[in-house]
Structures are given as structure tokens and as C-alpha cells.
Structure 1
Amino acid sequence: MTEQRTSGQDRPHPHLRVDREGPVLTISLSNPERRNAKTPSLWLALAELAETLDPEVRVVVLRADGPSFSAGLDLAMLTPEGVDGEVSMLEQAARGAQEMADVIAPFQRGFSAWADVDAVVVAAVQGHAIGAGFQLALAADLRVVADDVQLAMRETSLGLVPDLAGTAPLVHLVGYSKALEICATGRTVHADEAVAIGLASVAVRVDELEATTADLVSALLAAPEPALRELKPLLRRAVTATRDDQLRHEREAQGRLMHALVTRPRH
């Protein structure tokens, strides 16, 4: 992958475009002719972007070209022909259950690694966000959706389960029962419901999605950088930490911030 720059554009994958403007990195799914259907090589490229993210980046925006965020896995991956240049899912599955699980592990990092970066990750989601597309939206810290959004987990209808790090954030956001119902039925969650159940922060008209996302990014950048960098991991840990551990995380983060405030040079 090419080195990330203070400003400019890269293409770490034929179907990914990366734009850098100062502290903001925008990652665009860029295969609109296929509704941004995904392949494993794209997931690996996403993982590398997350794991090599410039520490100077404060906000990452995940977005997509065209009318759909992502229709999910390119279903040709589940055919005997597969997709040129991609791992054969059927061949790997035929070798054994553990062998298939081992193949999936690095693909999951394209989704789970965004929770580990210091930057706040915002997904701007329009149109179809199905399966792997839905799970990429769930990989973000915040989601802005267009009023035409169609979120769906269709894996169960194929005899599979969501396996790209989407199950934990979905349960944390909407609760076990609602998550089970959404995944088991494969039904569509539209914009109003997504906001009502906590999947999205706000729903706006399609033609307002870019501007609303930009406003959110500006608000995030306006927050003091050290505080925001402490806040993201603090809140993420709160989901699974014990009460005593979370209290410790709070006071330790506050201690670092207070120390920095009182010892920084004054002009």
C-alpha cells in the first residue's frame, strides 16, 4: 500500500479509494456497477488501512460511490467458479470446518480493526447495506444514514451466519432479542427504525448525506483532541468491563488529561 499523505488520494485496492485531507481520511467503496459488492481481497485492504492508520488521522469516514453502500459479499464467491484472483471459498470449506474458520480470521480484521484505531470512525450509508455491507457500517463508531437506506443481514437465508465482526456491535446497539430477529429473518431495517433502535445517529435525505456527514466530522474535530482520543476507548470498554474496571479506566483517563492540562506550556 502506498504511504498515507497529509493530503491526496490512493487506491490500495481496485474497488477502494482513499482520500486524505489533513486529519480526515475518507475511504470510499468504489465499485458502484456491482453495488459495491465485496471480496476477501478488499477486506484485507481494509484491515491494512486500519492497522497502518497514520496516528495524525482524527476521523475516518467510510462511504461508498453510487446509490448503494454495499450489497455485501460478491455471491460469485459462493459458486464453483469463484472470482478471479480471490480465494475459493468452496474449496476452503471442503477442506474442513477449522480450515474454513482459519481462512476467515484475517478477513474479520477488515471490520474489527476499526474499533482499535484512535480515530473516530463515521459511516455514511445510503441504499443497500446488506450482509458484509451492514457489518462494515457496524464497524464504525457512528452511523449517518440516508432515508433510502436498507440494512439487512441476509446470511441466515443462505444457511450461514454473520461472521465479519458484526454480531457483537449489533447486539450491543439493539439488544440480543432485536439482533436475533433482524438476523434470523433477514428483513430490512429502514432509516426511521435504524435511528429509533440505535443503529444510526441520524437519518437524512440522500442529497443531504454528504453535508450532514461533513457537519458531524467538523463537530468531532472541534472537540479537544486528547479528550476525544481518551473518550473512544473509554466508552468502548464500558460495554464489557466490570464496574470496578470501568471506574479505574475513567479515573486513569482523567488523570492523564488533568496532568496534561496543568503541565502543558503556557504562552
Structure 2
Amino acid sequence: MTVLDQDGVRVTVDGAIATVTLHRAEKRNAQTFATWRALAAAGRSLPGTVRVAVLAAEGPSFSAGLDRRAFTPEGFPGEPSFAELARLDDASLDEVIAGYQEAFSWWRRNDVISVASVRGHAIGAGFQLALACDLRICADDVEFAMRETSLGLVPDLGGTSPLVSLVGYARALEICATGRSVHAAEAERVGLANLVVPAAELEAATADLVAALVAPPRDAVVETKALLRSAVASDYDTQRAAERAAQARRLRDLLGEGD
């Protein structure tokens, strides 16, 4: 069932599995401001039955980043240019960028596990979109790169936090400051990719992982994801307390002792 199809983003739902597909293959799935609005709408469109959201792309590239028209004086038709954005006051510009970030933020909500199925180029905004997901299954032709600094910009779509969490501060800084490419073997070695497979096997490997993710009871997975996310910032005793509270909820739910 298709629940959304707009601006190069299509969302289909099959029971507990939603697939969000970028389909501007002729543009290597380059992103526009409209793409980001559609991706934000994708998150809002998911039925409550969805447990796993797969992010995929048509064509040989996952996403080549921000559409180059953004860097022209005219920008995108009907959209503010970079020059116009720069002239906004701080509060207004902050609000605009926060709206763009919504496209990248919902993938980590606790009730859904998100899986990026990545092939070919994942550059700039494409890299940040892959980083937005909980897990990344990659083809052996994948190429990640954070090119924002070479354009005089910064990664501002939520990508800095997961990148540092995955590869550490020093490597994240080196990747971002140099803008170099990270290919499949390195991506798997440093933790950017959960799994690398031959390109021809990417869809099958993604399907296998999704099947494993929906096998356990939903509430146990939701609670576990929440615990793991909180573990990053919590001290040991706080995290142990959170584990105890979560286990108490699970035991009472399993035994029908909840409120």
C-alpha cells in the first residue's frame, strides 16, 4: 500500500514494514528542500502498525547530496536561495533549518527501527540521511563522504552526533574536515556499515535483517532501543535504574499485571 508519493519520495507499507524510497534516479537522488519536506511527511504518514522503516533508493546512487541548484544564485524555484536564508535574523534562520532537520530526525524514534539500504554514492546530505537511520546495510560499491566543509558549510542535518557515536571524534573530524570518501571496506571496519554485501545481494540482505528485526515481541524491542539510546548519555547507575524500570514494565505486561 502506498501512503505517500511526492517530490521524489515514495512510502509503501506492508504490515509491520514501511519502505521509504528516494526515486529521482536520473538526478542520483539529489535532495531538494521539497525532498526534505516529503521525508518529514513520510515519518508522519507511518501507521502505528509499522515496526521497521527501510530507507532505500532507486538507481545506482543512494543520494548524491544536495541538488546543485541550491548553490546557484537562483536556488530552487519557489524556494528561498542561500543568499535569502543568510539575510534572515537568527531566530528565523534557526526555525528554517530546524524544519529541514525534521526530515532526518524521526528515523531514530523509539517505536520504529530504521534501516538504510545504501548503494553507490551517499554524499553530504545523502551521508547524513544514511546516518539518520539506526542501521546501515551497504553494497560493496558504497561511497560515503561529508563534503559540506569543502563548500564552506557544516553538516547541519543531524549527522554529526551519529557520526561521532559510530566512529569516534577524531575519525569523524578527519572525515568531515577532509571531505574524503569512505568506501565499503572501511565503512564496515569503522562501524558506519553494519554489513557490506555484493551489490546484487543488497535487497535480499536488507530483507533478511528486517525479518529478524520484526521477529521478537514489539514492546521488548521498543524498550530495548530506548535503553540503548539513553545509554549514550546516562551514567552507569542511572542506566541500571532505567533497565530495572523497563524490565518491571515488561514483566508486568507479560504477566498481565499492568495498570
Quickly name the TM-score band, shorter chain normalised. Answer: over 0.9
* Higher mean C-alpha displacement, 226-235 vs 85-94: 85-94
Aligned to 2:179: 186
Q: 1:117 to 1:55 in 2, by over 3 A?
A: farther
Aligned to 1:211: 204
* Higher mean C-alpha displacement, 215-224 vs 146-155: 215-224
SS at match of 1:108: helix
Whichever residue aligns with residue 155 of structure 1, its letter is: E
1:109 deviates by 1.2
CA–CA separation in structure 2 for the residues paired with 1:18 and 1:85:
25
Q: 1:97 to 1:78 in 2, by over 3 A?
A: farther
1:25 deviates by 0.3
SS at match of 2:181: coil
The TM-score with structure 2 as length reference comes to 0.95
2:237 is the counterpart of 1:239? no
2:244 is the counterpart of 1:251? yes
* Equivalent pair of 1:39/1:86 in contact (CA under 8 Å): no
Q: Find the partner of 1:84 among 73, 77, 81.
A: 77
1:97 deviates by 4.9
* Equivalent pair of 2:107/2:133 in contact (CA under 8 Å): yes
2:52 is the counterpart of 1:28? no
Aligned to 1:5: none
1:233 deviates by 1.2
SS at match of 1:95: coil
1:157-185 Cα distance to aligned partner (Å, 9 max, x none): 00111000000000001000000000000
Aligned to 1:154: 147
**For residues 140-179 of structure 1, what are the structure 2 equivalents within 5 Å?**
140-179=133-172
Q: Find the partner of 1:13 among 6, 31, 36.
A: 6
Whichever residue aligns with residue 193 of structure 2, its letter is: A
CA–CA separation in structure 2 for the residues paired with 1:185 and 1:103:
27
Aligned to 1:111: 104
1:60 deviates by 0.3
1:46 deviates by 1.4
SS at match of 2:49: coil
**For residues 123-134 of structure 1, what are the structure 2 equivalents within 5 Å?**
123-134=116-127
1:48 deviates by 2.5
Aligned to 2:33: 40
SS at match of 2:164: helix
The TM-score with structure 1 as length reference comes to 0.92
* Equivalent pair of 1:79/1:90 in contact (CA under 8 Å): no
CA–CA separation in structure 1 for the residues paired with 2:113 and 2:146:
24
2:99 is the counterpart of 1:100? no
1:146 deviates by 0.4
SS at match of 2:75: coil
Which residues of structure 2 form unaligned runs of 5+? Answer: none
Which residues of structure 1 form unaligned runs of 5+? Answer: 1-7
1:117 deviates by 4.4
**For residues 52-91 of structure 1, what are the structure 2 equivalents within 5 Å?**
52-91=45-84
CA–CA separation in structure 2 for the residues paired with 1:77 and 1:184:
21
* Equivalent pair of 1:78/1:89 in contact (CA under 8 Å): yes
* Equivalent pair of 1:30/1:65 in contact (CA under 8 Å): yes
Whichever residue aligns with residue 239 of structure 1, its letter is: V
CA–CA separation in structure 2 for the residues paired with 1:97 and 1:182:
29
- Number of residue pairs matched by the alignment: 257
Whichever residue aligns with residue 59 of structure 1, its letter is: V
* Equivalent pair of 2:4/2:45 in contact (CA under 8 Å): no
